Structure 1
Amino acid sequence: MRVTFATQAVPGRPNEDFVGATPDAIVLLDGAGTPPGSESGCVHGVTWYARSLGSTLLAGLAQDGKPLTEILAEGIKAVASLHDFVCDLTHPGSPSATVVMLRRTADTLDFLVLADSVLILDVIGTAEPMVVCDDREAQVGAAHRTAMDALASGSPGHVSAHRAYVETLRDHRNRDGGFWVAAVDPLAAEQALTGTVPAARVRAAALLSDGASRLVDRFRLATWRQTLDLLDDSGPEELIRRVREAERSDPDGSRWPRGKAHDDATAVSCHI
């Protein structure tokens, strides 16, 4: 596989995304940030969590034949053990992350997607790509974001409403009827979307954190097919540049209401 990627943090903040690759595997995580004024129970923070889990998963992918859900469950458990006696892992705001894993074996591509980062597979012979995204958080959140979306991004009211929104969603995290992310409970791995496709049928793949996928799924400024073409022609940096351009054109969220005016953005382009 030939892999290129770009990642860009929100200015003035550490990057809470993680991306890593080996010759046969790719891992992308998007850490769930803690809003100002909200507690997490963890002294390490979201960036530490995303990097610790991401590097652990990347090492686990070297174990040929092990199911991706098992690798993820073991990774969640291993990282929890790193801060179990230092941090309050029972806190509802304990650091968490989305996960996308892609692994090539001799003849197949195995994938796993947990939470709202996106995997796009450019399948040969089909007009539209295969898009894998776990949208359960968005479905849950839709019922709780009206007050936040009505306020201008960056205003004191919006900051407060965003914090309340995030804290409300914590009550639905990693439980039946809610949504699932990598955090403390290894059983969350069983809730991931998984699949296997013949490697010979896939021309290319893209992995996007939701800060990069918003060009399509929130801003509606491109299709998934156009995104694959953009990555192929101009690379991940151009995709992120276009996301930032759109964000700057709507600083108060009046056109595209959103929790974060800017978000960490990571894009990976992979040619199989």
Structure 2
Amino acid sequence: MVPMNAAFICRHFLNYVFLSKMAATLCVKLLPKQGWLPLTQSVRHGSKAVTRHRKPVHFLRQKLMAVTRYIPPPRVAPPGAYPPPAEQVQEDNALTVLIKRNLKKLFQENKIIAVVQNNASNSEDMMNLKYRLHKHGITVKFFPNQVMRSFLKDSIYCNMAPLLIGPTVLFVCKEPKVKEMLMTLRSSPQMTLLGACIDNTLLSAEGVVAYSKLPSMTVVQGQLVSGLTMLTSRTAHMLQHHPAHLSALLQQYVKQQSPDNSAEGAPKAEEAT
């Protein structure tokens, strides 16, 4: 028992010495020096300091803000600030003038001008296609797209210019033989119909197919004549119906008012009594 009490007393003494030294150190640091009084003394409590940190923006929101950010248009110079650029008029050469003249004649003489795209067809396929189209009076023409667009720009057919892109071929005919042209194109998968100008009317590929399903001009004229004849005959019948009916009524009235009919009516009345 004696050694244990001695150890306990020794430990207690060491703790007391340590606490005394700590108290002396704190008093020296915290207590103000003699002859010096601080003007302000900060008192800090045990709570943590409130420091606000900005929350980072979400990545999707950053992308949305970057996409929807307003980008002002560039400032345009006021009119008259710079001199107008000089327009350079390029004159056509003799070959271009000749081709344009042929194109003008082609559009005036033919009722159908179809634009067909040539998808890498060889010379043999082109010869067979020309032969089959020639049977129906349809001709194949080749013109440079640049010259074609230059010609169409100043004409009433300017809406055909977007069709002239890439290798193109023109099918022309003096009569609108659309059905025969479509039947011939079915046997040539390398040729694709883009559009056509039929009777000065620009049609798409679907419009050309719909135009081919219409009846011929002779059938339409026959239907029109029969319809007009029927309307005329019905009008004549309606105009003659009322006068004829009125005439029949007047004749019946005259017969009833004549003396012969009145004399015959009296004996019949006596016999009836």
Answer with 1 or 2: which has the greater Rg.
Answer: 2
TM bin, normalised by shorter chain, reads under 0.3
Q: By percentage of residues, which structure has more helix?
A: 2
RCO higher in structure (CA 8 A, sep ≥6): 1
The TM-score, its normalising length taken from structure 2, stands at 0.18
The TM-score, its normalising length taken from structure 1, stands at 0.18
Q: By percentage of residues, which structure has more strand?
A: 1
